[in-house]
Amino acid sequence: MSDITPETRFDHAFHKAADRHERVWIFFTIALLALLFAGTLAFVAVDFGVVAKGAGFYKSPLTPADSPLFKSGKLVKTGPSAYSAYVTGKLWYWTPSPIHVPQGATVTFYVTSADVIHGFEVQGTTINLTAIPGVVGTVSYTFDKARIYHIVCNEYCGIAHQSMIGEIIVDRRPT
């Protein structure tokens, strides 16, 4: 560039400053991402129990939904304050519902669907699990507050999807 006009001088200065800032910016970006990545992995090592896990695949989509545990609709006691609940999503309701849970209990939900895909979301908690026919998924949660929770279907499942609302009632611990 032989003809140095004020404009090219402006460009030149701007460019030099920019190069410096760019290096700093990229350094910070990469450092930030490394931190976030480590943080994500650390969460899993700790496993908050919020992670949806698989508990079985079946050839026929109805095998789990028709099994005795899912059909009985009963809360199964598995420890001093631990329970298992077997929940099926159907067009367009959750069964069993309402589910009574003692306050302070840790409940492991086993969830499946008897027809199309549903979404098992318990409003106000971290419970969020896809209900897939022929697959059983599982997630656990500890209910510390005595209150009523809504089970909301959050995966579109047809014309009455919006009315597929169930209930979990956390019964106050006797004092």
Partner 1 sequence: MSVVIGAERDSAPAIAWAAQKRLMSLFLIGGFSALMIGAAIGPLQALNYADVNAYPFLRPVLQSYYEGLTIHGVLNAYVFTFFVTSGLLVYLPARELELEPNMPIWWTSFGLMTIGAVMLLYAMFDNSSSVLWTFYPPLKGSPYFYFGMTLLTLGSMVPLAAVMDLRTRWKRANPGKLTPLVTYMSAATLLMWLLAALGAAAELIVQLDPWSLGLTKHVDPIIGRTLFWWTGHPIVYFWLMPAYVSWYAFLPREAGGKLVSDPMARLTFALLLIFSMPVGTHHQLQDPGIAPVIKAIIAGLTLSVALPSLITAFTLGLSLEYAGRRRGGRGWIGWFTALPWKNPSVAAQVLAMITFIFGGAGGIVNGSFQLDNIVHNTTWIPGHFHITVGTAVTMTFMGLSFWMIPHLTGRALFSRKLALISIWLWFIGMSVFSLGMHWAGLFGVPRRAWVSELPHSEYMHVYGVAHFPLILVGVGGVILWGATAAFYVVFFGSLFGGKRNETPVHIPFTEFLAGPEGSRLAGILEYLWPITGLTFLVTLAAYLPVLIPFFQHQTFAPGWMVW
The residues binding partner 1 (CB under 8 A) are 1, 10-11, 14-15, 18, 21-22, 25-26, 29-30, 32-33, 36-37, 40-41, 43-44, 47-48, 50-55, 57-61, 91, 111, 115-117, 119, 121, 123-124, 126-130, 132-138, 150, 152-159, 161-163, 165
Which of 152, 156, 118, 158 lies closest to 137 in space, CA to CA? 118
Give min distance, CB of 115 to Cu ion, in A.
Answer: 10
Q: Name which of 56 and 102 has its Cβ closer to partner 1.
A: 56
Give min distance, CB of 5 to partner 1, in A.
Answer: 13
Q: Name which of 58 and 93 has its Cβ closer to Cu ion.
A: 93
Query: Does residue 161 touch Cu ion according to CB under 5 A?
Result: yes
Among 153, 166, 168, 170, binds Cu ion (CB under 5 A): 153
